[in-house]
Every structure is written in C-alpha cells, then in structure tokens.
Amino acid sequence: MDVRVPEVPASYDDYRRRVREFVEAHKPELRMKEKAGLRVPDDPEDVAKLRAWVRALNDAGFASPAHSETKLDPYQARVLNEELGRAGVSVVLGNPLVGGAIKLFGTDQQKAFYLPRIASGEHIWTQLFSEPAAGSDLASLQTRGRLDGDGYVVDGQKVWSTWAQFSDYGYLLARTENKPGPAGITAFILDMKSPGVTTRPLREITGTTDFNEVFLDKVRIPVENVIGQPGQGWAVTTASLAQERGGVGSRGAEDSIAGLIRIARATKRAGRPAIEDGAVRQAIARFAARSRIQRALGYRVATKAAAKELGPADAPLTKIWFSELNLEINEYALSLQGPNGALAEGDPLAWQDGRFQDAFLYARAWTIAGGSNEIMRNLIAERGLGLPREARG
C-alpha cells in the first residue's frame, strides 16, 4: 500500500498559530519535570492543574479528538496533535483506551455521560487489566465477578494500573461467565470510590510511582456499568489494545537522536569530541535510518487505518520496532557519556539532569506495554502470516 502523508496546506497556518498561542498562554507550571513515557505526578496539586489545563483545552475547542465532540478535519487533527505533542503536557488524563471501548461498545447513556467528562478532564480513568499472574497472557486473568441481583460482586487483584491513585473510574476486566479462556470475560466501568477498592502505588526503578496495584474485595458494580454484553469483554479488550499498540508504535525518535548528537559533540573520546569518531557517527546514522523507518511504519498504519484496511500484524509490528529502537538509543546515550552515564537525576554532573538515564530505566516498559514483544511476535506470525500456532503450555 502506498503511504499517503500530504503536507498540511498553508491555509492551516492560522489554525496552527492559534493552537500554539493557546498552549503558550495556558500550559501549566508543574512541580513534576517532563520525562519520557507515560508518567504520573506525585503531587495532587499537579493533578488539579492538569485537570484545569485539559478543561481549558476542551472549552477552547482544542481537546483531543479521540474523546471530544469537536469535529475536526484531518489536517486540523494533525496540526492539533503536533502542537499538543510539542507542549509535553498530558492532554488526556489517565488511560485513554476506555474512550475507544465506550465509543465502540458502550450504550448511548454511557457515551453521553462518560466521553465528555474524559475530554474535559473531569474524569480520570485507569485500566484494570493485568494481574500478578496474567499480564501479556491476559486471557488467564482470575479476577471474578458473580451476578447478584441488579449488580455484580467482584473480587480480585490488578497490577500495573497507571493513574489508579488519582482515578475516578476504572476500565475493568473480570471473569463472569462459566466458560474457559476469553469467552468468560466481561468489561466493566468501575467507580474507584466504591467500597472494597484499595489502591497502593508502586515505587519503580525510575523513582516515580506511575503504576499501582489495586485490590477488589466484594466490590459491587451495577449491571448498567457493563461495557458491551456479559462475556464480550475480550472483543472490547482487543479493540482497545490494538489502539494502544498502534499508539506506542507511532512514536518517533527524532528528538532522542538529536540528543545523541548533542552528547557526542559535548563528550570526548581520546581527547577529541566523540562526534569526530567514525564509529560514533556510524552508530548515530544507523539510529537515524531506523527512525525514518519507524516514521514510515507509523504513516503506513495511519494510512491503512483511514482506509479501514488495518491488519492484525500492523500495530504489533510498529510497536516492536519503536520499543526496541527506543531502548537501544537510550542504552547508547549512556555509553556515550562514559563513566558519567552512571549518574542520575540530581547529580550536578549528570547530562541534562539525567534525562537519558531516566529514559533508559523507563524504556524497558515500552517493550511490555500493550502486550510484551514476544506476544506481539506471536501475533504477527500466527494472525498476520498464518503460521502454525505456538504450542501452549
């Protein structure tokens, strides 16, 4: 398929200027510093500022098109995504995947109530999928819900739940039907303030608490909070995860490569700037070439999605390519710094206050998020190429 990425016409320059001016005037000053990946503030005041920022974007008609009612043509959506991306501040708080689930499978009442509140920042959501013994193998999850009158009673444990400590609602999967594997799973909307919900933040190797574990002890969920139908949770999940994998894969590496060049110019090898070393130049050039391929893969997925021709291997392929390239770039950034590569945030000798050190520590998460790369390779082989299924244990 030919990739179609036409240039944004000059007639959209005024729209770009208005978005950029709005961002410059309203971008919040946060205590947390901008870092790689999907990060969560430690300070509740930062969360309040982010809610106000998203509300202002929504009121001005600049909310994320994925959840707002704002009608944008493809060029406006592209300009908006580019300018909001440059801001480096979240524009959808919490896990955005529930928006797609509600749009595709939700009732009219669910769509009318939840989607505008996600777009305005009033509601923050967390994703309650993974469990201690069910991560990439999500079909083996053990959290259970039993129908009791006009609701379900749910017991279980979830982990790696981003934003859970500040979330108003959770996008929950639980086993409700007496059927093995995916057929027994139902998707729910969970009010995180329900009795029996306990959230415990997890301090990661990065020093931040971006993830949480969530305990569910006889939590009641009304039947009207089912997304889709009972037992349809796997279909809801599959649609959501395809969106997540495509989002991970669409990220570019240009900024990181520019950072490599700056490090290579500032550091020495054998008494000369590292950028003059042919091996360093070759390594950076290889990363640049792979970054161009990454961008092309992202454009190809976007083109196929617009034509409703997206295949089962497309999003996993871009996800693998980005996550492994990102990890290798950050590893190389530390090696370029020599002994100083061991320094971290807060050390006066750390390059850019440990930017690449933090990115390196976080980078491994991208190889797992949305399904591990090993699982993605199985999807490409089995569903994309039609190869025999891997033997199941």
Enumerate the active-site residues. Answer: 244
**What is the rounded CA–CA span in Å between residue 111 and residue 113?**
6
Report CA-CA distances (Å) from 332 to 63, 206, 341: 36, 18, 10
AA identity, residue 214 = V
- How many CA atoms lie within 13 Å of 299's alpha carbon, on the beta-carbon side? 13
Instruction: Measure the CA–CA gap between 63 and 51, rounded to whole angstroms.
Output: 12
User: Torsions phi, psi of 387, nearest 5?
Assistant: -75, 160
CA separation for the pair 261, 274 (Å, rounded): 9
SS3 call for 194: coil
DSSP element (H, E) containing 299: helix 278-306
Give Cα 137 distance to the centre of its chain. 19
How far apart CA 368 and CA 323 sit, in angstroms, is 9
Alpha carbons 98 and 118: distance in angstroms, whole number = 9
Count of all residues that appear for the chain in the document: 393
Phi, then psi, of 172 in degrees rounded to 5:
-110, 140
Read off the DSSP letter of residue 267.
S
Question: Amino acid identity, residue 86?
Answer: R
Tokens of residue 202, six digits: 């997890």
User: Which residues does 272 contact at the CB level (< 8 Å), separation at least 6?
Assistant: none
Cβ within 8 Å of residue 18, ≥6 positions away:
none
Backbone torsions φ then ψ of 82, nearest 5 degrees: -65, -45
Are 163 and 94 in contact by the 8 Å Cβ rule? The answer is yes
Contacts of 7 (CB under 8 A, 6+ apart): none
Write the CA distances from 129 to 54, 166, 187, 351, integer angstroms: 25, 17, 10, 37
